[in-house]
A and B are shown apart, each in its own frame.
Chain A
């Protein structure tokens, strides 16, 4: 039909049919993904094939009372919306629904069940129109689900309540006991305090060293081999959704398009959801100007509080249609075969595997001292610590991006907690607590290392605050946690997630002891016994020694030996962590849900010239796709996006025609 209409040449049709047979994706998805036709042309043809009217949905025409009977999440998954109730030719009421898929009995049954009206008329519309209607008419519900879903379904797992009463009581009790102790017996209380801090720090440092050391033993082990990736058949690949939350990062949207274009995955089976915030028109404009290919959908997340990345991701999850879903940041450069490796890891990992975490590393490691230190830290964490956690089957706190999920299991888990500012780490622990597993895979995503100290402290204080939130959430019922994940996993969680902020908070006090002992030898002895002073100093020395050593090792996995000498600066780098941790502690009390925005795009590696973002994206980037024989109008993809945004550009529906064949 598209050929008859002149929208598609016979050569293009043959090429599309070949691809359709090769990747097993619907023919419509193939011609759309390859830019052979516009979305509008495709849906006009589909409506004819399916024997239905075509309608372009204007959200203001949707009957809101009718809309309230249908949950947004279901409609987003099934890509249809109810429009209105009208009278049919016999004067009887009938419900009109617009669907982006083939009209089906399932939709009719659902409508009858929810409205009690037995007559249903199904018209065809584009998936973008469905999405726009959902975003507009079901706006409040979408926002509510994204923000409140976890807090309402499983409040004990949500950080929306920062402290529960037993925690507050325990904190007050400890404070009162400490003050009373200091008044009654200052020396003894100090001994207890200093000894407790020392034991906690020693255990936390020791645990990190042990886990990372276990991880080093697997540094040349591949969870998924290149041969396994090569053996994958495109036809067996599922639809994969990529969520890209972007906020006030207009400058790197074009770069994102290029980075994701390198992915080795059939573009017909990719769905990229660019999650933009409603109050960020600059980024939206830049995204439109970048003329994203058709597989990119721009989802404008309605404004609400807390304005956090997990809230945007939850909205994205509502619209995700892939069997698997992954998050990337705008500046990320994932390895080309990462989606395929993650998929194989899922297939090998068993049914309880909910998430596969790829390693993160930095592409601008050598930009300055801070980026070098950050890269060493990330290498140590993702290459050794997470590998060690995986091998020891301990709960894995997920990294910020490149975590791949089974979509249905992620929905069952309740998605991300929008009140937790390290929602990723929290989700990894929550998954473990519910009996699921998180694994790592030998693939890397390169990010931009933070290169400015102020920016770094903002980012790090958020991470540390998130760790504190995560500890507070998962220790509300310590016995329940112990029973559900076991003593070893509980200890690993407490010492790694809880121990990390504790180490940073304690470090300045240990340094203070060191300085006092250095400047005024023996000055502490009247208050603290000499053995405890020595133990504290030894703890400080050993702790720093371990941290330096782990950083020394970090350069080996990726043969970045040039970074290794910088490991000697780790103690200074850790003092920066201490500053960030005190800021985090303060914010935890006064502004717990505040999302400290990290500025991206500062690196010279991601400075994009203005024209780059305006170019049409590469013609055959995502999979090994043949070059199209007839390029469409270069402005067409952008025009389609604009149509999504601007209802005024929607054309009138065409006249219905009789069904022909089951192909556009």
Chain B
């Protein structure tokens, strides 16, 4: 017979302090050993640069305009960094993807709505992506909580994800989902294109007054 895990459930009538301590202990048990995803950023950047150089060279040789050269360049950058942001949970990549999106809007103002749609899809991806959950679990194990409730929630979710089942593809996606993360990711991805669109609109509007 296996002895009951003392962390399997909180005893009835536990004090709030005990409940907090219990949640923290469960969280630490669940996330110990979890590491954040490590993307080979040098390779990613090198590959992106190589593709950009080839694309630019081909477009220039074939006599395309600067506008036509820049458009796919921005698209490549936006897609690459958007995926790195979404899958690798690298925050700064969101900055780069957003900036590339702004470039696209400047070149092609009509691209705003499709871009926002793409940003929404990527943000939804961030809601499910295991990489984000791993970063959060790692962070939770390496820093003190802002609030006990928040940390307890992270710990509970991480535990439900199950260390026994590992961070494998088989883990139920709902364990990774965070709505606030999706909203935050969308803001990061969409902010620059929106800012660029507003700047263009304002310039156009004031010139026409």
Contacts and interface: CB of A to CB of B under 8 A. Distances in A.
A383 to B, nearest CB: 10
B142 interface: yes
Contacts of B144: 333, 335-336, 444, 446
A552 B91 CA distance: 10
Given A549-B191, A561-B181, A213 B92 contact: yes
A223 to B, nearest CB: 12
B75 interface: no
Contacts of B181: 559, 561
Contact of B143 (A444, A538, A541, A565): A444
B interface secondary structure, majority: helix
Given A521-B209, A553-B188, A559 B140 contact: yes
Contacts of B183: 561, 564-565
Contacts of A446: 144, 146
Interface string B134-161: 0110111011101100100010000000
Interface string A362-385: 110110000000000000000000
Interface hub of A222, A559, A564 (most chain B Cβ within 10 A): A559
Contacts of A444: 143-144
Given A446-B144, A521-B206, A552-B184, A559 B36 contact: no
A518 B209 CA distance: 10
Contacts, number: 91
B191 A548 contact: yes
A557 B91 contact: yes
Contacts of A556: 91, 184, 188
Contacts of B198: 541
A397 interface: no
A558 B146 contact: yes
B146 A216 contact: no
A216 B192 CA distance: 17
Query: Could you tell me the dominant secondary structure of chain A's interface residues?
Result: helix
A216 B180 contact: no
Given A561-B181, A564-B187, A565-B187, A365 B91 contact: no
A552 B199 contact: no
Interface residues of A, number: 42
A444 B139 CA distance: 12
Interface string B107-141: 00000000000000000000000000001101110
Given A561-B181, A561-B184, A564-B184, A549 B154 contact: no
Contact of B192 (A549, A553, A555): A549
Contact of A216 (B95, B98, B139, B199): B95
Given A561-B178, A561-B181, A541 B139 contact: no
Nearest to A220: B36
A556 to B, nearest CB: 4
Contacts of B95: 213, 216, 549, 553
Contact of B195 (A545, A553, A555): A545
A363 B192 CA distance: 30
Nearest to A567: B187
Nearest to A226: B142
A511 to B, nearest CB: 15
Nearest to A605: B147
Contacts of A350: none
A568 B203 CA distance: 21
Contacts of B136: 559
A518 B188 CA distance: 28
B143 A366 contact: no
A444 B146 CA distance: 10
A58 to B, nearest CB: 46
A446 B146 CA distance: 8
A180 interface: no
Interface in A325-344: 333, 335-336
A365 B135 contact: no
A541 B199 contact: yes
Contacts of A442: 142
A517 to B, nearest CB: 7
Nearest to B206: A521
B91 A216 contact: yes
Given A365-B146, A444-B144, A220 B92 contact: no
Which of B36, B138, B139 gathers the greatest number of chain A CB atoms within 10 Å?
Answer: B139
B27 to A, nearest CB: 13
A217 interface: yes
Given A442-B142, A559-B140, A561-B184, A217 B191 contact: no
Contacts of B147: 363, 365-366
B154 A559 contact: yes
Contacts of B188: 552-553, 556, 564
Given A559-B135, A561-B184, 19 more contacts: A219-B92, A220-B139, A335-B144, A336-B144, A361-B146, A365-B147, A444-B144, A446-B144, A538-B199, A541-B202, A545-B192, A553-B94, A553-B188, A558-B143, A561-B180, A561-B183, A562-B180, A564-B187, A565-B184
11 contacts: A220-B135, A220-B138, A541-B199, A549-B191, A552-B188, A555-B184, A556-B184, A556-B188, A557-B91, A564-B188, A565-B183
